[in-house]
Amino acid sequence: MIIDKIIEREKLPITPQDLDIDDIATLCFADDMSIINSNITLHNKRLKKINRWFKQIFLEINPSKSVTTSLPKPNEALINNTKIPNQDNQRILGGYLFESKLFKEELEKRKHKMMNILNILPINLIQPYNLKQVVTSKTLSQITHLARSNSISQSQIESFDSSIRNQIKRKLNIDARTPKECLYLPNYQGGMGIPCLEMMTDIITLKSLINISCHNYQLMQEAVNDAITSTFNTKKSKNLNIFENFHHIARKYELKVDNCNYIPQLVNEESLKYHKKCKNFEVWTDGSKTEQGAGFGIILQSKNITTRHKFKLDPIHSNNLAELLSIVYTLRLLPTKSKAKIYTDSEISINLLSNPKYRGPFLPLKTEFEFLKKSKNLQITIIKVKGHQNSGNIHVDKLAKKGCTSGKLIIPHRQLTQNQIILKSNNHWIPDIATFIKNKQLQKWNESITLKSRNKFNPSCIFPTTFNFMKSKNISPQQKYAIWRNMHNVHMKTFKQQTHTCPRCNCTGTIEHYSTRCILLSEERMYAKQQMKRLLNIELIPHDRNEILTSSKFLIDSRGIILNSDTYFTRRKQDIIKYWVDIQAILSLLMGRAFNQYWENERPEEPKGQ
């Protein structure tokens, strides 16, 4: 795309001395050693030729680390009147074409590698609160690089997620029918906290293209922006390239794509006329976030006059955005060819603006800062001061707090003028895409698990209590996973029902039957009741989850969930929380015996003789 952009727009006379068409074919730009030719020496030699050619046309691109996806289809680039081929099974500047069979084969190979890793990983010995980190490190790394520059279809990534879930269920003896939400929810909400690769790759794709759209090199920025803009109205649902997939993901999370080319209108222009002829300034900036909203303040001091400016932001925006925007907006207020010392207590803003490799959520604002600084020929020095220990900082802090309620309303994304690609929700810029998507997905999972579950309990009490105990060093990981299975009823493996009959009770043998009323387990139930009586001084009534509640007594079923708990749970809450892990241990023992009995009777008899 970059080469095509240069040739098409600049009409450059490209005459490389020893570069032939093979050097810009499949192997030239491949940076994944697992799919390039085995002749690494030849590969490196070609990369050096490409680098030398790029330098001849004054373009700083590392072909082994570039991330552009594919050449555009409408136009074909020419080098010495030779067309650059746009073929299947070709990687261009580090990315596969989405039609490539090689790409699909590579995905399958990586999935197979991931499953082998999970297969030998002792998941049942990993502490529950470490499980997410371990599984993420072993799985996400397999596709991170590919997701940055390629479109991975939803069916492909779902197959990765399904394989991970199935492997974990097998390792932890979890019922295969357990809803996936139970595994994805974080620990503090009663889940297992394992990574959802679909969500992760969505975040990577969105962030990668947004970052490239703010690239330091204008040609790179223009090429990506053109591609994103031209694919906005695509109606395809399959075989999406990475730019079409960008819009598909945005729509999935109800986000709107905006190509920012706004003309910001300055406020308080009347007061700025006194600064026009000044060339040296001292500026104090600060941002604030209160219960009333967000805002920022600017104190602009020249030899002629000191002016104060306060602005209000929508309450959805963060304090960090307010701090950074106060500095960026200062550059709009300054006259051209002036010098300014900007004093701020925001270490985040200083680190962000001084880091040339920054690729975080506020990159569009950093791009705007660099543009204003260069276009207005400003000399800016940003100085860190301690908060509330400097008279200028104290005054601007009060000004920022006033701005939260009475300042002039500023819309942050309307301060962006350089075609930065951003994502908006309800017409508000969402800088931190990762947090937004995670919260959105978390809400969706919670709603889904509520609809699927018949549990009548207060998860805000039970789940945090259980997982506080799960951090204990005195309980083995196996015991902790048993507690988790009890809590979710996910150890209730019923397999394919063969409607076997209990040999002692002459009725249908289900796990609920064996745990609540079967004569074969009467001693085990009696032991569980005695232990519960000892702990809580109340009587345990094992309850079939399929029965209609008729008793107002303290009922606990095989999951350890208090079903009619509204009044009783509130009254005995502290005792129950105190002994919650012991309650789960009692139920684990009872249900383990019930499960063994169920399995023995469910197992088909072996044929007698041959």
pTM for the full model?
0.73
| 583 or 14, greater pLDDT | 583
3-state secondary structure of 150: coil
pLDDT band at 364 (very low <50, low <70, confident <90, very high): very high
Residue 478 confidence (pLDDT): 82
Residue 375 confidence (pLDDT): 93
**What's the rounded mean pLDDT across residues 502-513?**
82
Residue 221 confidence (pLDDT): 83
Residue 464 confidence (pLDDT): 59
Give the tens place of pLDDT for each residue, 9-27: 666 555 444 444 444 443 3
Q: What single string gives the DSSP state of each residue in 292-336?
A: TEEEEEEEEE-SS-EEEEEEEE-TTS-HHHHHHHHHHHHHHHSPT
- As to burial, measured by CB atoms within 10 angstroms (0-12 exposed, 13-18 middle, 19+ buried), residue 130 is exposed
3-state secondary structure of 403: helix
Of 73-82, 193-202, 223-232, 411-420, which range is least confident? Answer: 73-82
- Beta bridge mates, 422: 258
Q: Classify residue 560 as left (phi > 0), alpha (psi -120 to 50) or beta.
A: left
pLDDT band at 67 (very low <50, low <70, confident <90, very high): very low
pLDDT band at 294 (very low <50, low <70, confident <90, very high): very high
Looking from the CA of 385 toward its CB, the CA atoms found within 13 Å total 20
**What's the rounded mean pLDDT across residues 301-314?**
90
pLDDT band at 62 (very low <50, low <70, confident <90, very high): low
For the chain, percent helix, then strand, then coil, each to nearest 5? 50, 10, 40
Query: Residue 303 pLDDT > 80, yes or no?
Result: yes
- Beta bridge mates, 343: 284, 383
Give the tens place of pLDDT for each residue, 212-271: 888 877 777 888 888 888 888 887 777 788 888 999 999 999 999 999 999 887 766 677
Residue 7 confidence (pLDDT): 58
Neighbours of 449 (CB within 10 A): 21
3-state secondary structure of 131: helix
Most confidently modeled range among 1-15, 235-249, 385-399, 568-582: 385-399
pLDDT band at 191 (very low <50, low <70, confident <90, very high): confident
Average model confidence (pLDDT) across the chain: 77
What is the spatial distance between Cα 473 and Cα 591, in angstroms, rounded to a whole number?
A: 24
**What's the rounded mean pLDDT across residues 381-405?**
91
Per-residue b/e over 167-200, b at no fewer than 16 CB within 10 Å? Answer: bbbebbebbeebbbbbbbbebebbbbbbbbbbbb
Most confidently modeled range among 416-425, 477-486, 588-597: 416-425
Query: Residue 566 pLDDT > 60, yes or no?
Result: no
Domain 269-418: CATH architecture, name and number where available: 2-Layer Sandwich (3.30)
Tell me the domain boundaries of the chain: 2-96, 101-256+424-453, 269-418, 459-602
Describe the crossing of helices 101-120 and 128-139 by its angle, rounded to 10 degrees.
150
Give the tens place of pLDDT for each residue, 130-160: 899 899 988 888 888 788 878 888 888 999 9
Q: Which of 442, 418, 422, 420 has its CA nearest to residue 431?
A: 422
CA angle 163, 164, 169 (to 5 degrees): 100
Structure tokens at 350: 């200083």
Query: Residue 93 pLDDT > 50, yes or no?
Result: no
**What's the rounded mean pLDDT across residues 542-552?**
50
pLDDT band at 372 (very low <50, low <70, confident <90, very high): very high
pLDDT band at 80 (very low <50, low <70, confident <90, very high): low
Residue 296 confidence (pLDDT): 96
**What's the rounded mean pLDDT across residues 103-108?**
83
Most confidently modeled range among 77-86, 265-274, 569-578: 265-274
Structure tokens at 561: 């969930």
Q: What are the backbone angles phi and psi of residue 283, rounded to the nearest 5°?
A: -130, 135
Q: What percent of the chain has pLDDT over 70?
A: 70
Query: Residue 356 pLDDT > 70, yes or no?
Result: yes
What is the spatial distance between Cα 537 and Cα 372, in angstroms, rounded to a whole number?
A: 72
